[in-house]
Amino acid sequence: MLENSLQSKTFLYDKNGEEHYNLISALHKSMRNSDPDAALYYLARMLESGEDPLYIGRRLIRFASEDIGLANTNALVQAVSAYNAAHFNGMPECNVNLAQAVVYLSVSPKSNSLYKAYEEVKKDAIKTMEEPVPLHLRNAVTKLDSEMGYSEGYEYAHNYKEKTTNMVCLPPSLKNKKYYIPTDSGNEKNVASILNNIEKIKKNFK
């Protein structure tokens, strides 16, 4: 009985051990490399070893934004749906729900622009944590607020034809900084086109 127990696949799989992290890393990197077969293999390795399907679901949600982002906005929807399905179905029924998400994410166009943008803006946010919000972006709730200049110079975008102005929203020390830089992958090339158009409107704003 002891010999059989030691050979048990669930007994050998340590959810907090090195193999746990090796397998989730392999799953993530296989999806990133657009390899659905390898991704499915590592998914099955984890599930059949007794891994919590919700843990995998959470990692798929993270992947959807970190490695795909706006290149395919349905990726996050697919990942969250798979997580919910895993929650409601449990194992073994949810294995195909997670498999669907893993294949979808694997074959989806990729972009890490959101991940890079947040990592970059996080550095500036930490360095400028004590910098005040520009007065024109504050709400003038009281008379004193108004006297101090809150909301003064604010431009309500909906009052303008193009629904945008050249108003500066970043703090003065970060003026003209660019964090989110879209790629030409998938739908993100459309986002890039939209941002380019917005920049033209701002430059020609009167």
Q: What is the mean pLDDT of residues 92-121?
A: 97
CATH number corresponding to 113-203: 1.10.3710.10
pTM assigned to the model = 0.87
In tens, the pLDDT along 45-90 reads: 999 999 999 999 999 999 999 999 999 999 999 999 999 999 999 9
Q: Domain 2-107 maps to which CATH number in 1.20.272.10, 3.90.1520.10, 3.30.465.10, 1.10.579.10?
A: 1.20.272.10
Strands (E) in 133-175, as ranges, are none
Among 99-108, 111-120, 197-206, the minimum mean pLDDT is found in 197-206
Closest among 65, 150, 154, 57 to 101, alpha carbons compared: 57
**Equal CATH topology for 2-107 and 113-203:** no
**1-25: b or e for each residue (b if 16 or more CB lie within 10 Å)?**
eeeeeeeeeeeebeeeeeebeebbe
Reduced DSSP (H G I as helix, E B as strand, rest coil) percent helix, strand, coil of the chain, to 5: 65, 0, 35
Annotated domain spans of the chain: 2-107, 113-203
